[in-house]
Amino acid sequence: MTPEISQRRMPGMLKLTLGVLVFQVLANGFIGFLIIDEISRRSSHGARTPNAGLLYFVGFLSIAIALTLLACVLLAATRQSWIRPTIIGIEVLGLISGVINLFSGQVTAFAGIGLAIGVLAMVNREDVRDFFS
């Protein structure tokens, strides 16, 4: 196999990474929707929600992250140079968020931390770096 052909093909680990990112897109979008829907439902019934503005921000941020990751997944085959740093940036934010959640007592943060570390490890492989360069 010549190097030219191997550079055109998407590495297997990148395909696995894109699968994990699709899961994250669905999870972030769903959680963001649930947060916004719950705050809207409470306010429409006259209930007062403390920190509603912050919760709206978190909900819309979660949806924005989902849409950004979706764009990265859909455009990965085009080998755009901005895709890899965008994925790394979002996963670093997810890692920091997971650590903060872990210190606040949420044991489920281990799953988010594990996914972020896994995606970061796969995106930083040499064949994936070469694919996007």
d(CA 99, CA 110): 8
Q: What is the pLDDT of residues 64-85, one digit of tens each?
A: 999 999 999 999 989 888 999 9
Does pLDDT of 1 surpass 60? no
Q: What is the pLDDT of residues 19-49, one digit of tens each?
A: 999 999 999 999 999 999 999 888 887 778 7
